[in-house]
Every structure is written in C-alpha cells, then in structure tokens.
Amino acid sequence: MNPLETLLQARLREGPVPAADVMALALYHPGHGYYRRAQGPWGFEGGDYYTALDLGPLLGEALCLRLLRAWEDLGRPETFTVLEPGAGRGWLGRDILQAATGPFAEALRYVHRDDNPAARAAAGEALAPWPDRVRFAAEGEALPPFVGAVLSNELFDALPAQPWRWDGARWTREMLTPDGPAWLPGEPCEATAWFAAHAQDGLESGDGAPWCAALPDVVADLARPLEAGLFLAIDYGEQASRLVDKGADLRRYKGHQVDGKWWEDLGDSDLTADVDFTRLASLLGGHGFGPAATVTLSRWVREHAPLGEWEEAWASLTPAVRIQRMENLLQLTLPTMMGERFRVLEAWKRA
C-alpha cells in the first residue's frame, strides 16, 4: 500500500478526514509528499503538469520589464531584491536575470525559496551563472527587510484548501470517509461567513469554494520583510463571488490529465485549488499594501510585454525558433490556453 494511504487509514479509524488535511499530507509530508520527492513532477515528458516556464522565456522577459519599472518607481534603489516563494526550478529567476541589463541588472538580487529537493537541485544549476546575485532561502526562514518585489507563479493554488458547499439548507464540507469522499455537515465558521457575504444574489444550492486556512500566515510571512515595493502573484482562480457561484472544488493532475479525484494516488499526483483573489487582496491590504488590481494573464502580457520589440527581434531568428517564440506568446495570451485561465494580481507597498 502507498505509505501515505497507510497513514491515512490510521486517521480514518478515528473518523472522517477533511479534504484539506488529505491535500496537506499528499503534497507536503516530509518523507512521501508530492512536493518533497527527489524527482521533479513538471515538464511535458514524464511529468504531471507544465507551467508557463516550460513554454519559453517570454513570461520572464515581460516580468523583467515590469520589475524594471517598479525599480524606477521606487527611485532606482542601489539594491532591488526579488523574492520568489515556491520558486521551483528557478527558471523564472533565470529568465528575469538573463533579460536584465544595465544599472537595473547591477541592482537586481534574486532570492529563491523552495524546499522541494528536486526543485532546489534544478535551481542550483539554472541560477549558477549569477552566484553574486542569487541567494537560496528555506521556507519559513526569516528574511531581512528589503526593497523590491515579492513574485510568485502558481504558489497559492498549491496551499492546502478545504472545499465547502451550501446544500440549500446548511453548509457542508468535503471529507474522506472509509467509503470514499462525502459532503458532511460543517459548523458555521469564518469560511462560511466569507462565502455567504460574497455570494451573488444570495446563496443557492451548490454554491461554495475551497478555503485556505493557512493563507493569512503565508501572506504575512511574505509581506513582512518587504519594506516597499511590488507584490505580484500569477495563479489561476477568480474573485470571491465568481468562485462561490461556480462551487469550485479541488483538482488532481496526473500525467497531464486533470480530474477531481483528490483522494487517489496520494503523493503521486498534484492537487490544486482555485485562488480567491478577493481574499488575497484583502489580506495584503492588512499589511500596508494599497488596493490590488487583478487582470487576466492575457491582458497583463498585452499591457506590459514589448510586443513590437519582440516581433522585430524575432525576424532575425531561425524559422524554428521564431515559431517557438510565437507559440510561447499564444499560450500566454489565447483565451483557450493560459491567457484567460490565469490571473495576475499586483499590489504596492509604499515606504
């Protein structure tokens, strides 16, 4: 039997287990969790999912320009630190560092934060060309105050979350029982009050969403050391009202296939939950950030990427490389691909 299933069976003998606890065990168990394995789960061949970074460098190049403008808005400080939590293989940091030039490149410092052993090993190789501008930090490590940016790409969707659903008369939460998953009655709590407050035109049967109990602590940990600068999060999710209205649930990714069977293949498949961008913005506001703006990834790329310069530069590339760049851009902008499924949140903290 899968070692995580053995642990879970012991829990089940004590009663039903919340889906969020199963997700935490499956992803982050120190010995057997999906994100604690020695082999990375990403990529097209042999992986369970791919990210925008597997498609090419354009996201990193666009983000580099956005960070350059942030550096200028802050008065061009001598040191501009970019913290990336959940940084994975370090490819986003690599693409940003490769694209940075001039005085901004001299000021730029990148902090990679991810305890996944496979990610840490891959990042060590990807970021090796910049030994004086890269630092590796452990999750939970207290960081000194800095000016710059906190940048995340698909971080918040991987935090354990508990699905809740209104059945027309009461709130229920998804649990794992010895007979499989089930929606069982749950006591009113902060999560249900939030969902009720953000339901469009009142609650209807089937309304609900996943609730990440750890989100306040994660936001506080990331916001605390940033004295001034930009908080930018790329993830898939919706505003609270949209999430509640569609009754979002957990997703399982395995072999590039997606379904809702979060209780299967524990430790051998990825589990994710839609991000509540309304709640994320509200929490940032409590840590001194101004009003957050959230747009689709497609719109963000069109607003911040140098599309005309890219087109001109690509003219000198070989046809094969030019096609790769165009496919990379289409993946980031087309509604049927990442362009509409992902959102970008930006919020500023002023000194």
Question: pLDDT tier at 336 (50, 70, 90 boundaries)?
Answer: confident
Average pLDDT on 146-158 reads 97
> For tokens 């690599």, what's the residue?
94
**Which residues, in sequence order, are bridge partners of residue 164?**
173, 209
How many other C-beta atoms are found inside a 10 Å radius of the C-beta of residue 42? Answer: 19
- Length reported for the chain: 351
pTM of the full predicted structure? Answer: 0.94
Widest CA span in the chain = 65
> Each residue of 264-303: pLDDT tens digit?
999 999 999 999 999 999 999 999 999 999 999 999 999 9
- From the candidate CATH numbers 3.60.15.10, 3.40.50.12710, 3.30.470.30, 3.30.365.10, the one assigned to the domain spanning 1-305+343-351: 3.40.50.12710
Residue 38: predicted pLDDT: 76
pLDDT at 53 over 90: no
Round to whole Å and give the CA distance between 56 and 329: 9
Question: Are residues 174 and 183 in contact, defined by beta-carbon separation less than 8 angstroms?
Answer: yes
The DSSP H or E segment spanning 215 is helix 215-223
pLDDT at 49 over 80: no
Residue 200: predicted pLDDT: 87
Question: pLDDT tier at 40 (50, 70, 90 boundaries)?
Answer: low
Residue 2: predicted pLDDT: 86
Q: Which two tokens stand for residue 148?
A: 């710059």
Can you say whether the dihedral through the CA atoms of 309, 312, 96, 93 is positive or negative?
A: positive
pLDDT at 86 over 70: yes
Round to whole Å and give the CA distance between 3 and 24: 15
CA 108 to chain centre: 22
pLDDT at 246 over 90: no
pLDDT at 54 over 80: no
